[in-house]
Amino acid sequence: MRRLVTVALLCLFVVNAGASSAVPTEIVQFVFTSDSHFGLTRKAFRGQANVDAAIVNEALVATINALPSAAIPKDGGIGGGASVGSIDFVANAGDIANRSETTDTEQIQPASVSWTEFQRVYLQGVRLQNHEGQRSPVFVVPGNHDVSNAIGYHRPMVPATDPTSLIGIYNLMMRPNVPLTPASFSYPRDRVQTTRDIGGVHFIFLTVWPDSSERAWIARDLASIPANMPVMLVTHDQPDAEGKHFTNPAGLHDINATDKFENLLVDALDDGPTIEAPSVREQAGLERFLADHPNVTAYFHGNSNWNQFYDWTGPDQSLALHVFRVDSPMKGNFSANDETVMSFQLATIDMASRRMTVREVLWNAHRGAAGTEITWGASTTVALSPRPRVLPGGSARY
């Protein structure tokens, strides 16, 4: 059965619970969020101060669970005017556990505690159904905090390493016959590189960012995928990845307090010797790769968190990749100081028309007041056909 995936984004519009019909079963829908940061506290949330991440994320999940009965606005996008209905999966783009850094005044909880909280709040707490009436899965990729907890960081942490959240994500997503343990785990050998085919769309889930090693794996994976099948990347970092996330290009190429590289990616930063250097050459490698794989039509990420829909063209401006940046319930660029703009995204893909609508869901616009939990924010609809290659001067080659 051919189905669509819908992502919701549109101008402020309060949900009407009296929608007359659900989104048709030909539509596949998913929720996208990121940067849960268990272990942190929000300075303000629903009238309380210094609110633990577990409480904030519980409130977010409660809204996700209520989403099926909400009415989609008549915004010209896919499914407009219907109730949301079935949701096929929830995707979280990482930073499940905050780094367990320690200072003279603060100690962030270990990743093992944060992973236990995430399991309770998300893996056990999300109670949605897909179009087959089965419980909707939660898909997760590692963020930079999850990896740093596992391999170490240039500032003190207690414990110095704790791979619990990274191993938990790996076992959840990779489903190995023998689950990883701290004794058997080895980074970067054990990275999340996996796919799910849903409703005619090929979803690729990656660790942190598609570096050269992950691109080689993607190329092998895509060799068996029809050239016209839409492919979507779900990862933590934005396409213009931060220089500090690459491997230290200097000295012993290690993690140290002087150079401050995090060694999350296999590639040494080629743009300069410091973390302030841009990652232009590395981005150019990603751009060339994507230009050679035009059915990779969408890219979902967290890390730098606010709601944004944009096209990434690459340093050489040779392509136009549809990119979706999502907010964080704990560290949003804007929502950290204004809880009324906290949001996640609802996505809807229609394979019949080869279009996707992504809608922003403002889940705390009224600070939890009864009956006003969901307000619709921004929205966009994009084509999922293979991308044209952009030529110099802005013309397109199909």
> Contact at 8 Å (CB) between 110 and 160?
no
Q: What is the pLDDT of residues 68-94, one digit of tens each?
A: 999 999 999 999 999 999 999 999 999
21 — pLDDT class (breaks 50, 70, 90): low
pLDDT band, very low/low/confident/very high, at 392 (cuts 50, 70, 90):
low
Note the pLDDT of residue 18.
38
Domain tally, the chain:
1
CA-based R_g, the chain, Å: 20
Output the domain CATH number for residue 66. 3.60.21.10
- Mean pLDDT within 172-188: 97
For residue 156, give its domain range.
6-241+279-397
Quick one: pLDDT band at residue 385, thresholds 50, 70, 90? confident
Beta bridge partners of 309: 324
Average pLDDT over residues 219-233: 96
319 lies in a domain? Answer: yes
Flag whether pLDDT at 395 surpasses 50.
no
- DSSP-H helix ranges across 26-163: 53-66, 111-118, 144-151
Whole-number pLDDT of residue 280: 97
pLDDT in the model for residue 368: 85
- Answer whether residue 390 shows pLDDT above 80: no
d(CA 293, CA 340): 39
Identify the weakest region by mean pLDDT among 28-42, 98-112, 167-181: 98-112
- Express the helix, strand and coil content of the chain in percent, nearest 5 each: 20, 25, 55
Phi/psi of residue 196, each to 5°? -140, 130
Residue 296 lies in a domain: yes
CA distance 164 to 21: 43
For helices 53-66 and 111-118, angle between their N-to-C axes, nearest 10 degrees? 20
Contacts of the segment 147-153: beta carbons below 8 A, 24+ positions apart: 147/187, 147/207, 147/208, 147/262, 147/264, 148/99, 148/262, 148/264, 149/97, 149/99, 149/100, 149/111, 150/111, 150/185, 150/187, 151/187, 151/255, 151/263, 152/255, 153/99, 153/101, 153/255, 153/262
Residue 13: the pLDDT is: 35
Q: Mean pLDDT throughout 196-212? A: 97
Determine, yes or no, domain membership for 299: yes
Q: What is the DSSP string of 169-229?
A: HHHHHH--SS---TTT--TTTS--EEEEEETTEEEEEESSS--HHHHHHHHHHHTTS-TTS
Q: Is residue 201 one of the residues assigned to a domain?
A: yes
- Does some domain include residue 111? yes
Contacts of 278 (CB under 8 A, 6+ apart): 243, 271, 272
**3 pLDDT tier (thresholds 50, 70, 90):** very low
CA distance 95 to 208: 10
User: What would the mean pLDDT of 54-81 be, rounded to a whole number?
Assistant: 96
Residue 2 is predicted with a pLDDT of 39
Please tell me the predicted confidence (pLDDT) of residue 248. 97
Residues 186-197 have a mean pLDDT of 97
The verdict on residue 177 lying in a domain is: yes
pLDDT the model gives residue 397: 40
What is the arithmetic mean of pLDDT over 36-44? 97
What percentage of the chain exceeds 70 in pLDDT?
Answer: 90
pLDDT of residue 22: 57
Which tokens in the block code for residue 227?
């050239």
pLDDT digits (tens, 9 = 90+) for 364-383: 999 988 667 789 999 999 99
pLDDT mean over 54-59: 98
Instruction: For residue 227, tell me if it sits in a domain.
Output: yes
In the predicted model, what is the mean pLDDT of the chain? 91
pLDDT at 14 over 50: no
Q: What pLDDT sits at residue 262?
A: 98
What are 114-126's pLDDT values in tens digits? 999 999 999 999 9
CA pair distance 282, 225, nearest whole angstrom: 25
Q: What is the dihedral of CA 274, 275, 277, 278, to 10 degrees?
A: 160
> For 250-280, how does the pLDDT look when each residue is reduced to its tens digit (9 = 90+)?
999 999 999 999 999 999 999 989 999 999 9
